[in-house]
Amino acid sequence: MKRGSIFELNGIPKFQEALPLALQHVVAMIVGCVTPAIIVAGAVGGNSLSAKDRVILIQASLVVSALSTLIQLFPIGKKNGFTLGSGLPMIMGVSFAYVPSMQAIAEGYGISSILGAQIIGGIVAFVMGILVKKIRVFFPPLITGTVVFTIGLSLYPTAINYMAGGTSNPDYGSWQNWAVAFLTLAVVTALNHFGKGILKLASILIGILVGYVVSIPFGMVNLSSVGEAKVFQLPQFMHFGIHFEISACVAIGLLFAINSVQAIGDYSATTIGAMDRVPEDRELQNGIMAYGVTNILGALLGGLPTATYSQNVGIVTTTKVINRWVLGLAAAILGVAGIVPKFSALLTTIPQCVLGGATVSVFASIAMTGMKLVASAEMDYRNSSIVGLAAAIGVGVSQASAALASFPDWVTTIFGKSPVVLATLIAVVLNIILPKSRDEKKHEKELKKEVKEKIQQDHEEFEQE
């Protein structure tokens, strides 16, 4: 392999140039990668997940994120044939988008049902990849923005409960928990607004480190699990088992469909912002199909659902560093961290109040990202009705826990535990049935024509080959 610049997609750059840039990506995403596993482990019914299993869940999250990233960076298959992976400079990690639904499933059915639903979701994503050019018309920014906004809203109670110490904590709501949480939040906020360079990129990580140190004198840190953990261990195949619960499969499958379309935004932001071009249909198709396949593999290894990481997209577009080997080195660092259980065990010792203080700003940014997508569409009475009704009914039903008490359990699991599924369905249906303005009809007609022409062009190119 020839030498290459860090600003070129291919070619191996100098190690001393690549390493700090790779670490920058790791620092920006590692907390977000492991936090969903910690939250889901705490949500398992009866708090039955052992300390060892918590470590394995975090370990698997890191390893699967590394594998997913490497496949996206370095596609598998023939260049002009069946290929898995976009070949674009993307980082994959465990996504917060699935957390509300995973919490509900973990509470009622356990980790194995999440992993079973993830396999179904992976199949859904693979099909979405094949049909992406035809399906994306049903998910304009108004709809994806509503979904992302609802995800952010649904995560707020989790953040507040964590800031208070965690509902399973005997000291839940104590002043010590709130003090540590707000100190952590203050550090993260200050670095986000006043920090520069690595200080700003690593704001969440630094905030957690400060909160962690401050929490030690309060007796909130127990390192016994670190001493018991092994130094080296590969992910365990089917450790948690696989169980297919229909309601869980429906809920997670729908989220995979939405995230498949959402991934188009991240791919587009990367190529437009750092490569001065739009992504090719082939890159989108191969990337989303790989997203599906790697999630199926991840479920078998015990890793939770992954997706493209927007914060790393931001780093790529800001620095213009698009070299795949730089991001591949970041993935390798994640993988090494994942096969060292002592590191994963150390992460489980982070007090919940510290995690809450650090992640509440993340959840807020998720909601605001959704609002930006919504605001990109004209906010007339029709669009305001779609967003308002979808968010109101989705969030409202999930907050009123007894609202679906007379319905079968599967109805409650799909629609009552997490607002995301219900909000998505309402938004999509209303967008189809409510009359559009003249300008919207014109734009939609042009988009459909463009998609039809592109499909015809691809078919002709295939015939020529």
Number of structural domains the chain divides into: 1
pLDDT in tens, 133-176: 777 777 788 887 888 788 788 878 888 988 998 877 888 889 99
| pLDDT exceeds cutoff 50 at 388 | yes
pTM (predicted TM-score): 0.77
pLDDT in tens, 247-256: 999 989 988 9
C-beta separation of 248 from 268 below 8 A? no
> Which class for 349: exposed (0-12), middle (13-18), buried (19 or more C-beta within 10 A)?
middle
Share of the chain above pLDDT 70, in %: 91
pLDDT in tens, 104-127: 899 888 999 999 999 999 999 999
Calpha distance 116→120 (Å, rounded): 7
C-beta separation of 286 from 86 below 8 A? yes
**pLDDT for 463:** 46
The candidate with the shortest Cα–Cα distance to 270, out of 312, 323, 317, 326, is 317
**pLDDT for 9:** 86
Helices 324-338 and 15-43 cross at an angle (nearest 10°) of 50
- Name 70's Cβ contacts closer than 8 Å, sequence gap at least 6: 328, 331, 332
| pLDDT exceeds cutoff 80 at 66 | yes
| pLDDT exceeds cutoff 50 at 465 | no
Question: Residue holding tokens 């109670």?
Answer: 157
- Confidence band (pLDDT; 50, 70, 90) for 76? very high
What domain range is 347 assigned to?
A: 15-434
In a domain, 411, yes or no: yes
List helix spans (H) across 164-280: 175-194, 198-201, 203-215, 224-228, 246-275
Backbone angles phi, psi at 237, to 5 degrees: -65, 125
Q: What angle do CA 263, 267, 269 make, to 5 degrees?
A: 110
Structure tokens at 307: 């997706």
- What is the amino acid identity at position 179? A
Calpha distance 308→260 (Å, rounded): 9
In a domain, 443, yes or no: no
In a domain, 464, yes or no: no
In a domain, 405, yes or no: yes
Helices 141-163 and 175-194 cross at an angle (nearest 10°) of 140
> Which class for 14: exposed (0-12), middle (13-18), buried (19 or more C-beta within 10 A)?
exposed
**DSSP, res 172:** T
C-beta separation of 357 from 115 below 8 A? no
Structure tokens at 437: 């303005």
- Confidence band (pLDDT; 50, 70, 90) for 395? confident
| pLDDT exceeds cutoff 80 at 412 | no
Query: 3: which strand partners?
Result: 12
In a domain, 448, yes or no: no
The candidate with the shortest Cα–Cα distance to 121, out of 260, 283, 27, 241, is 260
Question: Residue holding tokens 């997203």?
Answer: 291
Question: Residue holding tokens 């400060």?
Answer: 210
In a domain, 221, yes or no: yes
C-beta separation of 210 from 183 below 8 A? yes
In a domain, 2, yes or no: no
| pLDDT exceeds cutoff 50 at 462 | no
Backbone angles phi, psi at 44, to 5 degrees: -60, 130
- Confidence band (pLDDT; 50, 70, 90) for 7? confident
Other CB atoms within a 10 A radius of the CB of residue 130 amount to 13
| pLDDT exceeds cutoff 80 at 401 | no
pLDDT in tens, 298-326: 999 999 999 988 778 877 887 788 999 99
Structure tokens at 92: 């994959």
| pLDDT exceeds cutoff 50 at 385 | yes
In a domain, 447, yes or no: no
- Confidence band (pLDDT; 50, 70, 90) for 438? low
